[in-house]
Structure 1
Amino acid sequence: MTAAAAAADDVRDPSLPGRLLAAERDALLPLLRSLPDADFALPTAACPGWTVRDVLAHCSAALARVVESRFEKGVFSPESNERDIAERAEWTNARILDELEHGMTEAGAVLAGRADGAWDGIAFGEWVHAGDVRDCLGEPGAYTGEGRPYALTLLSRVTRDRGRPRLQADLDDVDDPLHLGVPSGTRTPARFIGDTATLVRLYTGRAVDGVSYELTGAEAGELNLYG
Protein backbone atom coordinates (compact mmCIF):
# COMPACT_ATOMS: atom_id res chain seq x y z
CA MET A 1 0.00 0.00 0.00
CA THR A 2 1.33 3.44 -0.93
CA ALA A 3 1.63 6.27 1.58
CA ALA A 4 -1.16 8.14 -0.20
CA ALA A 5 -3.45 5.11 -0.08
CA ALA A 6 -2.68 4.56 3.59
CA ALA A 7 -3.51 8.18 4.36
CA ALA A 8 -6.80 7.94 2.48
CA ASP A 9 -7.59 4.71 4.29
CA ASP A 10 -7.19 6.51 7.61
CA VAL A 11 -9.65 9.35 6.90
CA ARG A 12 -12.50 9.30 9.40
CA ASP A 13 -16.10 9.44 8.22
CA PRO A 14 -17.93 10.97 11.22
CA SER A 15 -21.32 9.76 9.97
CA LEU A 16 -20.27 6.12 9.83
CA PRO A 17 -21.10 5.09 13.44
CA GLY A 18 -24.57 6.58 13.11
CA ARG A 19 -25.22 4.78 9.84
CA LEU A 20 -24.17 1.48 11.39
CA LEU A 21 -26.39 2.01 14.44
CA ALA A 22 -29.38 3.00 12.29
CA ALA A 23 -28.98 -0.04 10.03
CA GLU A 24 -28.76 -2.34 13.05
CA ARG A 25 -31.73 -0.66 14.74
CA ASP A 26 -33.93 -1.18 11.71
CA ALA A 27 -32.93 -4.83 11.41
CA LEU A 28 -32.75 -5.87 15.07
CA LEU A 29 -35.52 -4.05 16.94
CA PRO A 30 -38.43 -5.66 15.04
CA LEU A 31 -36.94 -9.07 15.81
CA LEU A 32 -36.46 -8.26 19.49
CA ARG A 33 -39.97 -6.87 19.90
CA SER A 34 -41.40 -10.09 18.49
CA LEU A 35 -39.61 -12.34 21.00
CA PRO A 36 -41.41 -14.11 23.86
CA ASP A 37 -40.16 -13.12 27.29
CA ALA A 38 -38.56 -16.55 27.74
CA ASP A 39 -36.03 -15.80 25.00
CA PHE A 40 -34.68 -12.82 26.95
CA ALA A 41 -33.56 -15.23 29.68
CA LEU A 42 -31.47 -17.41 27.34
CA PRO A 43 -27.75 -17.55 28.25
CA THR A 44 -25.36 -16.19 25.63
CA ALA A 45 -22.26 -18.11 24.61
CA ALA A 46 -20.33 -14.99 23.60
CA CYS A 47 -20.81 -13.24 26.97
CA PRO A 48 -20.55 -15.91 29.69
CA GLY A 49 -22.81 -15.17 32.65
CA TRP A 50 -25.00 -12.82 30.65
CA THR A 51 -28.44 -13.57 29.27
CA VAL A 52 -29.89 -12.02 26.12
CA ARG A 53 -31.57 -9.44 28.36
CA ASP A 54 -28.26 -8.63 30.08
CA VAL A 55 -26.52 -8.03 26.75
CA LEU A 56 -29.34 -5.77 25.61
CA ALA A 57 -29.35 -3.88 28.91
CA HIS A 58 -25.61 -3.34 28.60
CA CYS A 59 -26.06 -2.08 25.04
CA SER A 60 -28.89 0.28 25.91
CA ALA A 61 -26.99 1.65 28.92
CA ALA A 62 -23.84 2.23 26.86
CA LEU A 63 -25.76 4.19 24.26
CA ALA A 64 -27.57 6.17 26.95
CA ARG A 65 -24.16 7.24 28.25
CA VAL A 66 -23.21 8.37 24.76
CA VAL A 67 -26.43 10.31 24.21
CA GLU A 68 -26.04 12.02 27.59
CA SER A 69 -22.26 12.50 27.11
CA ARG A 70 -21.52 10.71 30.38
CA PHE A 71 -17.95 9.53 29.83
CA GLU A 72 -16.73 9.46 33.40
CA LYS A 73 -13.61 7.58 34.52
CA GLY A 74 -14.05 3.82 34.50
CA VAL A 75 -16.98 3.84 32.09
CA PHE A 76 -17.38 0.54 30.24
CA SER A 77 -15.23 -1.33 32.75
CA PRO A 78 -16.59 -4.76 33.78
CA GLU A 79 -17.72 -3.27 37.09
CA SER A 80 -19.49 -0.38 35.39
CA ASN A 81 -21.19 -2.74 32.94
CA GLU A 82 -22.49 -4.92 35.78
CA ARG A 83 -23.84 -1.86 37.60
CA ASP A 84 -25.66 -0.74 34.47
CA ILE A 85 -27.30 -4.14 34.13
CA ALA A 86 -28.22 -4.23 37.83
CA GLU A 87 -29.80 -0.77 37.61
CA ARG A 88 -32.18 -2.14 34.96
CA ALA A 89 -33.05 -5.34 36.82
CA GLU A 90 -36.60 -4.16 37.58
CA TRP A 91 -37.24 -2.79 34.10
CA THR A 92 -39.56 -4.58 31.72
CA ASN A 93 -38.05 -6.03 28.57
CA ALA A 94 -40.04 -3.48 26.59
CA ARG A 95 -38.48 -0.59 28.53
CA ILE A 96 -34.98 -1.89 27.80
CA LEU A 97 -35.83 -2.12 24.10
CA ASP A 98 -37.23 1.41 24.14
CA GLU A 99 -33.98 2.72 25.64
CA LEU A 100 -31.97 0.70 23.13
CA GLU A 101 -33.94 2.03 20.18
CA HIS A 102 -33.62 5.60 21.44
CA GLY A 103 -29.86 5.18 21.83
CA MET A 104 -29.40 3.66 18.39
CA THR A 105 -31.32 6.58 16.93
CA GLU A 106 -29.64 9.44 18.80
CA ALA A 107 -26.07 8.30 19.55
CA GLY A 108 -24.80 8.66 16.00
CA ALA A 109 -25.03 12.45 16.05
CA VAL A 110 -23.15 12.60 19.35
CA LEU A 111 -20.39 10.33 18.09
CA ALA A 112 -20.12 12.34 14.87
CA GLY A 113 -19.64 15.50 16.93
CA ARG A 114 -16.55 14.16 18.68
CA ALA A 115 -13.79 15.32 16.36
CA ASP A 116 -11.24 12.83 17.70
CA GLY A 117 -13.46 9.84 16.91
CA ALA A 118 -12.42 8.28 20.21
CA TRP A 119 -15.83 6.70 20.82
CA ASP A 120 -16.59 5.53 17.28
CA GLY A 121 -15.76 1.97 18.32
CA ILE A 122 -18.86 1.94 20.55
CA ALA A 123 -21.01 1.60 17.43
CA PHE A 124 -18.93 -1.38 16.32
CA GLY A 125 -19.32 -2.95 19.77
CA GLU A 126 -23.09 -2.51 19.64
CA TRP A 127 -23.16 -4.24 16.25
CA VAL A 128 -21.08 -7.13 17.62
CA HIS A 129 -23.40 -7.56 20.59
CA ALA A 130 -26.35 -7.62 18.19
CA GLY A 131 -24.54 -10.52 16.54
CA ASP A 132 -24.14 -12.20 19.94
CA VAL A 133 -27.91 -11.99 20.42
CA ARG A 134 -28.66 -13.34 16.95
CA ASP A 135 -26.19 -16.17 17.49
CA CYS A 136 -27.85 -17.09 20.77
CA LEU A 137 -31.30 -17.05 19.22
CA GLY A 138 -30.24 -19.05 16.17
CA GLU A 139 -31.17 -16.16 13.89
CA PRO A 140 -29.35 -15.49 10.60
CA GLY A 141 -27.07 -12.51 10.11
CA ALA A 142 -24.86 -12.80 13.20
CA TYR A 143 -21.78 -10.58 12.66
CA THR A 144 -22.86 -9.70 9.13
CA GLY A 145 -26.12 -8.40 7.61
CA GLU A 146 -27.02 -4.95 6.31
CA GLY A 147 -24.53 -3.16 8.55
CA ARG A 148 -21.55 -5.21 7.38
CA PRO A 149 -19.90 -2.56 5.13
CA TYR A 150 -20.04 0.06 7.87
CA ALA A 151 -18.86 -2.40 10.52
CA LEU A 152 -15.87 -3.54 8.46
CA THR A 153 -14.78 0.05 7.87
CA LEU A 154 -14.98 0.73 11.61
CA LEU A 155 -13.14 -2.52 12.35
CA SER A 156 -10.32 -1.43 10.09
CA ARG A 157 -10.01 1.84 11.97
CA VAL A 158 -10.28 0.31 15.45
CA THR A 159 -7.58 -2.25 14.68
CA ARG A 160 -5.24 0.59 13.67
CA ASP A 161 -6.09 2.66 16.72
CA ARG A 162 -5.35 -0.31 18.97
CA GLY A 163 -2.12 -1.25 17.23
CA ARG A 164 -3.05 -4.69 16.00
CA PRO A 165 -0.69 -6.36 13.49
CA ARG A 166 -1.18 -5.55 9.82
CA LEU A 167 -3.47 -8.07 8.16
CA GLN A 168 -5.02 -8.50 4.73
CA ALA A 169 -8.43 -10.15 4.89
CA ASP A 170 -9.62 -11.84 1.71
CA LEU A 171 -13.28 -12.31 2.51
CA ASP A 172 -15.49 -14.87 0.79
CA ASP A 173 -18.46 -12.50 0.95
CA VAL A 174 -16.77 -9.17 0.09
CA ASP A 175 -15.23 -8.32 -3.27
CA ASP A 176 -12.19 -6.26 -2.25
CA PRO A 177 -9.46 -7.19 0.25
CA LEU A 178 -9.74 -5.52 3.65
CA HIS A 179 -6.61 -4.09 5.27
CA LEU A 180 -6.53 -3.98 9.04
CA GLY A 181 -4.05 -3.11 11.75
CA VAL A 182 -0.80 -1.14 11.65
CA PRO A 183 1.86 -1.68 8.97
CA SER A 184 5.29 -2.71 10.20
CA GLY A 185 8.57 -2.39 8.36
CA THR A 186 9.92 -5.53 9.98
CA ARG A 187 6.95 -7.87 9.83
CA THR A 188 5.21 -9.36 6.83
CA PRO A 189 1.46 -8.63 6.94
CA ALA A 190 -0.68 -11.49 8.13
CA ARG A 191 -3.41 -12.89 5.91
CA PHE A 192 -6.91 -14.14 6.62
CA ILE A 193 -9.07 -16.12 4.20
CA GLY A 194 -12.66 -16.80 5.24
CA ASP A 195 -15.96 -15.02 5.74
CA THR A 196 -16.86 -11.79 7.52
CA ALA A 197 -18.49 -13.44 10.52
CA THR A 198 -15.38 -15.50 11.26
CA LEU A 199 -13.10 -12.48 10.92
CA VAL A 200 -15.27 -10.53 13.36
CA ARG A 201 -15.30 -13.46 15.77
CA LEU A 202 -11.50 -13.57 15.75
CA TYR A 203 -11.14 -9.84 16.37
CA THR A 204 -13.69 -9.85 19.19
CA GLY A 205 -12.70 -13.03 21.00
CA ARG A 206 -15.74 -15.07 19.95
CA ALA A 207 -15.47 -18.83 19.41
CA VAL A 208 -14.54 -20.09 15.95
CA ASP A 209 -14.66 -23.81 16.72
CA GLY A 210 -15.52 -25.91 13.69
CA VAL A 211 -15.34 -22.94 11.31
CA SER A 212 -13.23 -23.22 8.15
CA TYR A 213 -10.76 -20.35 7.64
CA GLU A 214 -7.06 -19.66 7.08
CA LEU A 215 -4.92 -17.37 9.22
CA THR A 216 -1.22 -17.04 8.50
CA GLY A 217 1.40 -14.68 9.85
CA ALA A 218 -0.37 -13.98 13.16
CA GLU A 219 -1.87 -15.82 16.10
CA ALA A 220 -5.58 -15.41 16.83
CA GLY A 221 -4.80 -13.95 20.25
CA GLU A 222 -2.86 -11.06 18.66
CA LEU A 223 -6.00 -9.94 16.85
CA ASN A 224 -8.43 -9.88 19.79
CA LEU A 225 -9.42 -6.28 20.43
CA TYR A 226 -10.79 -7.05 23.88
CA GLY A 227 -8.19 -9.54 25.10
Structure 2
Amino acid sequence: MTDVQDVRDPELPGLLLTVERDALIPLLRARPDADFALPTAACPGWTVRDVLAHCSAALMRVVESRFEEGVFSPESNDRDIAERAEWTNALVVDELERGMTEAGPVIARAGGVLDLIALGEWVHAGDVRDTFGEPGAYSGAGVPYALTLLARVTREKGHLPVHADLDDVGEPVRLGATSGVRTPARFIGGAATLVRLYSGRTVDGASYELVGAEIAEMNIFG
Protein backbone atom coordinates (compact mmCIF):
# COMPACT_ATOMS: atom_id res chain seq x y z
CA MET A 1 0.00 0.00 0.00
CA THR A 2 1.26 3.46 -0.89
CA ASP A 3 1.39 5.46 2.33
CA VAL A 4 2.54 8.97 3.14
CA GLN A 5 6.18 9.03 4.17
CA ASP A 6 7.15 10.01 7.72
CA VAL A 7 9.50 12.66 6.38
CA ARG A 8 8.24 15.42 4.07
CA ASP A 9 9.91 15.57 0.67
CA PRO A 10 10.46 19.32 0.23
CA GLU A 11 11.13 18.93 -3.49
CA LEU A 12 7.82 17.21 -4.25
CA PRO A 13 5.60 20.31 -4.70
CA GLY A 14 8.12 21.89 -7.08
CA LEU A 15 8.44 18.65 -9.01
CA LEU A 16 4.66 18.49 -9.41
CA LEU A 17 4.65 22.07 -10.70
CA THR A 18 7.45 21.57 -13.22
CA VAL A 19 6.00 18.32 -14.56
CA GLU A 20 2.68 20.08 -15.09
CA ARG A 21 4.37 23.15 -16.54
CA ASP A 22 6.05 21.07 -19.22
CA ALA A 23 2.69 19.63 -20.27
CA LEU A 24 0.35 22.60 -19.78
CA ILE A 25 2.29 25.56 -21.15
CA PRO A 26 2.75 24.13 -24.67
CA LEU A 27 -0.95 23.23 -24.68
CA LEU A 28 -1.92 26.79 -23.77
CA ARG A 29 0.38 28.36 -26.33
CA ALA A 30 -1.25 26.24 -29.03
CA ARG A 31 -4.83 27.30 -28.21
CA PRO A 32 -6.57 30.21 -29.96
CA ASP A 33 -7.50 33.28 -27.93
CA ALA A 34 -11.16 32.33 -28.09
CA ASP A 35 -10.50 29.27 -25.92
CA PHE A 36 -9.29 31.48 -23.07
CA ALA A 37 -12.79 32.96 -22.85
CA LEU A 38 -14.47 29.58 -22.32
CA PRO A 39 -16.36 29.28 -19.01
CA THR A 40 -15.08 26.66 -16.58
CA ALA A 41 -17.49 24.26 -14.91
CA ALA A 42 -15.18 23.73 -11.94
CA CYS A 43 -14.95 27.46 -11.10
CA PRO A 44 -18.37 29.02 -11.75
CA GLY A 45 -18.10 32.59 -13.02
CA TRP A 46 -14.50 32.15 -14.09
CA THR A 47 -13.24 31.68 -17.62
CA VAL A 48 -10.14 29.71 -18.55
CA ARG A 49 -8.22 32.99 -18.56
CA ASP A 50 -9.49 33.84 -15.08
CA VAL A 51 -8.31 30.48 -13.74
CA LEU A 52 -4.90 30.95 -15.34
CA ALA A 53 -4.60 34.52 -14.05
CA HIS A 54 -5.49 33.32 -10.55
CA CYS A 55 -2.90 30.54 -10.79
CA SER A 56 -0.13 32.79 -12.06
CA ALA A 57 -0.89 35.45 -9.45
CA ALA A 58 -0.88 32.92 -6.62
CA LEU A 59 2.46 31.50 -7.70
CA MET A 60 4.02 34.93 -8.06
CA ARG A 61 2.85 35.79 -4.56
CA VAL A 62 4.78 32.72 -3.42
CA VAL A 63 7.84 33.65 -5.46
CA GLU A 64 7.81 37.23 -4.14
CA SER A 65 6.67 36.33 -0.60
CA ARG A 66 3.63 38.62 -0.75
CA PHE A 67 1.23 37.26 1.85
CA GLU A 68 -0.72 40.22 3.16
CA GLU A 69 -3.78 39.74 5.33
CA GLY A 70 -6.66 38.16 3.43
CA VAL A 71 -4.48 36.73 0.68
CA PHE A 72 -6.08 33.87 -1.28
CA SER A 73 -9.55 34.90 -0.10
CA PRO A 74 -12.22 35.16 -2.82
CA GLU A 75 -11.87 38.94 -2.75
CA SER A 76 -8.09 38.76 -3.06
CA ASN A 77 -8.35 36.29 -5.92
CA ASP A 78 -10.78 38.56 -7.76
CA ARG A 79 -8.40 41.50 -7.34
CA ASP A 80 -5.50 39.47 -8.73
CA ILE A 81 -7.57 38.58 -11.78
CA ALA A 82 -8.70 42.18 -12.26
CA GLU A 83 -5.10 43.42 -12.10
CA ARG A 84 -4.37 41.30 -15.18
CA ALA A 85 -7.49 42.29 -17.12
CA GLU A 86 -5.55 44.34 -19.66
CA TRP A 87 -2.85 41.74 -20.20
CA THR A 88 -2.75 39.63 -23.33
CA ASN A 89 -3.38 35.93 -22.93
CA ALA A 90 0.24 35.33 -23.87
CA LEU A 91 1.45 37.51 -20.97
CA VAL A 92 -0.73 35.57 -18.53
CA VAL A 93 0.76 32.31 -19.79
CA ASP A 94 4.26 33.77 -19.55
CA GLU A 95 3.71 34.69 -15.91
CA LEU A 96 2.22 31.27 -15.20
CA GLU A 97 5.27 29.59 -16.72
CA ARG A 98 7.58 31.71 -14.58
CA GLY A 99 5.58 30.95 -11.44
CA MET A 100 5.53 27.21 -12.07
CA THR A 101 9.30 27.35 -12.57
CA GLU A 102 10.31 29.54 -9.64
CA ALA A 103 7.79 28.70 -6.90
CA GLY A 104 9.09 25.21 -6.14
CA PRO A 105 12.24 26.21 -4.21
CA VAL A 106 10.27 28.76 -2.17
CA ILE A 107 7.63 26.16 -1.29
CA ALA A 108 10.38 23.70 -0.38
CA ARG A 109 11.90 26.15 2.11
CA ALA A 110 8.53 26.98 3.70
CA GLY A 111 8.41 23.72 5.66
CA GLY A 112 5.08 22.47 4.34
CA VAL A 113 2.73 25.39 4.88
CA LEU A 114 2.64 26.18 1.14
CA ASP A 115 2.51 22.61 -0.18
CA LEU A 116 -1.23 22.76 -0.76
CA ILE A 117 -0.72 25.62 -3.23
CA ALA A 118 1.19 23.32 -5.58
CA LEU A 119 -1.56 20.73 -5.39
CA GLY A 120 -4.19 23.39 -6.04
CA GLU A 121 -2.31 24.63 -9.10
CA TRP A 122 -2.19 21.10 -10.47
CA VAL A 123 -5.93 20.71 -9.91
CA HIS A 124 -6.61 24.01 -11.70
CA ALA A 125 -4.58 22.73 -14.65
CA GLY A 126 -7.03 19.84 -14.68
CA ASP A 127 -9.91 22.33 -14.69
CA VAL A 128 -8.46 23.91 -17.83
CA ARG A 129 -7.92 20.56 -19.55
CA ASP A 130 -11.46 19.54 -18.64
CA THR A 131 -12.85 22.73 -20.15
CA PHE A 132 -10.89 22.17 -23.34
CA GLY A 133 -12.09 18.57 -23.55
CA GLU A 134 -8.49 17.41 -23.46
CA PRO A 135 -7.65 13.90 -22.24
CA GLY A 136 -5.84 13.57 -18.96
CA ALA A 137 -7.74 16.09 -16.84
CA TYR A 138 -6.70 15.49 -13.22
CA SER A 139 -4.32 12.76 -14.30
CA GLY A 140 -1.21 12.49 -16.47
CA ALA A 141 2.45 12.40 -15.49
CA GLY A 142 1.88 14.34 -12.28
CA VAL A 143 -0.47 11.81 -10.69
CA PRO A 144 2.11 9.94 -8.56
CA TYR A 145 3.40 13.22 -7.13
CA ALA A 146 -0.11 14.60 -6.63
CA LEU A 147 -1.28 11.47 -4.79
CA THR A 148 1.75 11.51 -2.50
CA LEU A 149 1.16 15.19 -1.76
CA LEU A 150 -2.56 14.61 -1.26
CA ALA A 151 -1.85 11.81 1.21
CA ARG A 152 0.47 14.02 3.24
CA VAL A 153 -1.82 17.05 3.20
CA THR A 154 -4.87 15.04 4.25
CA ARG A 155 -2.95 13.36 7.05
CA GLU A 156 -1.62 16.65 8.39
CA LYS A 157 -5.11 18.18 8.21
CA GLY A 158 -6.53 15.24 10.17
CA HIS A 159 -8.89 14.65 7.26
CA LEU A 160 -11.16 11.62 7.23
CA PRO A 161 -9.21 8.38 6.65
CA VAL A 162 -9.69 6.77 3.24
CA HIS A 163 -8.34 3.55 1.76
CA ALA A 164 -8.29 4.04 -2.02
CA ASP A 165 -8.01 1.14 -4.44
CA LEU A 166 -7.18 2.84 -7.73
CA ASP A 167 -7.89 1.13 -11.04
CA ASP A 168 -5.01 2.89 -12.78
CA VAL A 169 -2.39 2.98 -10.01
CA GLY A 170 -0.42 -0.10 -9.04
CA GLU A 171 -0.90 0.03 -5.27
CA PRO A 172 -3.69 1.20 -2.96
CA VAL A 173 -3.30 4.65 -1.43
CA ARG A 174 -4.01 5.51 2.20
CA LEU A 175 -5.14 9.07 2.87
CA GLY A 176 -6.23 11.10 5.86
CA ALA A 177 -5.84 10.73 9.61
CA THR A 178 -3.99 7.74 11.03
CA SER A 179 -5.34 8.06 14.59
CA GLY A 180 -7.63 5.06 14.24
CA VAL A 181 -10.55 6.99 15.76
CA ARG A 182 -12.59 6.51 12.60
CA THR A 183 -12.74 3.43 10.40
CA PRO A 184 -11.28 4.31 7.00
CA ALA A 185 -13.75 4.90 4.19
CA ARG A 186 -13.23 2.80 1.07
CA PHE A 187 -12.85 4.22 -2.42
CA ILE A 188 -12.65 2.13 -5.58
CA GLY A 189 -12.17 3.89 -8.91
CA GLY A 190 -9.72 5.92 -10.97
CA ALA A 191 -7.12 8.36 -9.69
CA ALA A 192 -8.71 11.26 -11.57
CA THR A 193 -12.04 10.57 -9.90
CA LEU A 194 -10.39 10.50 -6.48
CA VAL A 195 -8.77 13.87 -7.20
CA ARG A 196 -12.12 15.26 -8.33
CA LEU A 197 -13.71 14.18 -5.05
CA TYR A 198 -10.96 15.71 -2.91
CA SER A 199 -11.06 18.98 -4.86
CA GLY A 200 -14.84 19.37 -4.99
CA ARG A 201 -15.09 18.78 -8.74
CA THR A 202 -18.00 17.00 -10.37
CA VAL A 203 -17.82 13.23 -10.73
CA ASP A 204 -20.91 12.92 -12.91
CA GLY A 205 -20.64 9.90 -15.17
CA ALA A 206 -17.60 8.46 -13.40
CA SER A 207 -17.63 4.84 -12.32
CA TYR A 208 -16.54 4.50 -8.69
CA GLU A 209 -17.54 3.26 -5.24
CA LEU A 210 -17.33 5.25 -2.02
CA VAL A 211 -18.33 3.55 1.20
CA GLY A 212 -18.11 5.00 4.70
CA ALA A 213 -17.99 8.68 3.74
CA GLU A 214 -20.14 11.34 2.12
CA ILE A 215 -18.90 13.23 -0.94
CA ALA A 216 -19.22 16.50 0.97
CA GLU A 217 -16.64 15.27 3.51
CA MET A 218 -13.97 14.72 0.90
CA ASN A 219 -13.28 18.26 -0.33
CA ILE A 220 -10.04 19.69 1.09
CA PHE A 221 -10.41 23.04 -0.67
CA GLY A 222 -13.93 23.83 0.52
Fold similarity call, TM over 0.5:
yes
The structure 1 residue matched to 2:109, chosen from 113, 133, 158, is 113
Matched AA of 2:91: R
C-alpha separation between the residues in 2 aligned to 1:128 and 1:91? 24
Q: Give 1:34-183 correspondences, 5 Å limit.
A: 34-114=30-110, 116-183=111-178
Within the alignment, does 1:211 sit opposite 2:170 as a pair?
A: no
CA–CA distance in structure 2, aligned partners of residues 95 and 172 of structure 1: 39
Q: Answer whether contact 1:183 1:189 (CA < 8 A) is retained.
A: no
**Per chain length, whose mean CA-contact separation is higher, i.e. which structure has more relative contact order (CA < 8 Å, sep 6+)?**
2
Percent of matched pairs sharing the same residue: 74
- Cα offsets for 1:123-168 (capped at 9, x unmatched): 1000000000000000011000011111111111111222211111
In the TM superposition, what is the alpha-carbon distance from 1:209 to its structure 2 partner?
Answer: 1.2
Gaps of 5+ in 2: none
Q: State the AA in 2 paired with 1:177.
A: P
State the partner residue of 1:24.
20
**Counterpart of 1:168 in 2: which secondary structure?**
strand
1:148-205 Cα offsets, whole Å, 9 max, x none, are 1111111111112222111111000101111100024332111100001100000010
Partners of 2:47 and 2:156 in 1: CA distance: 30
Secondary structure at 1:91's aligned position in 2?
coil
Tell me how far apart the structure 1 counterparts of residues 178 and 217 of structure 2 sit (CA, whole Å).
14
Backbone CA RMSD of aligned residues: 1.4
Q: Secondary structure at the match of 2:24?
A: helix
Cα distance in 2 between the residues matched to 1:162 and 1:50: 28
Single out whichever of 50-59 and 179-188 deviates more from structure 2: 179-188
Question: What is the deviation of 1:9?
Answer: 2.3
TM-score, normalised to structure 2, is 0.97
Q: Which letter maps to 1:131?
A: G
1:32-62 Cα distance to aligned partner (Å, 9 max, x none): 0011000000000000000000000000000
The whole-number CA distance in structure 2 between the counterparts of 1:156 and 1:110 is: 21
Secondary structure of the 1:53 match is: helix
In the TM superposition, residue 223 of structure 1 has moved relative to its aligned partner by: 1.0
- Taking structure 1 as the reference length, what is the TM-score of the superposition? 0.95
Q: Which runs of 5+ in 1 are unaligned?
A: none
Deviant stretches of 4+, over 3 Å: none
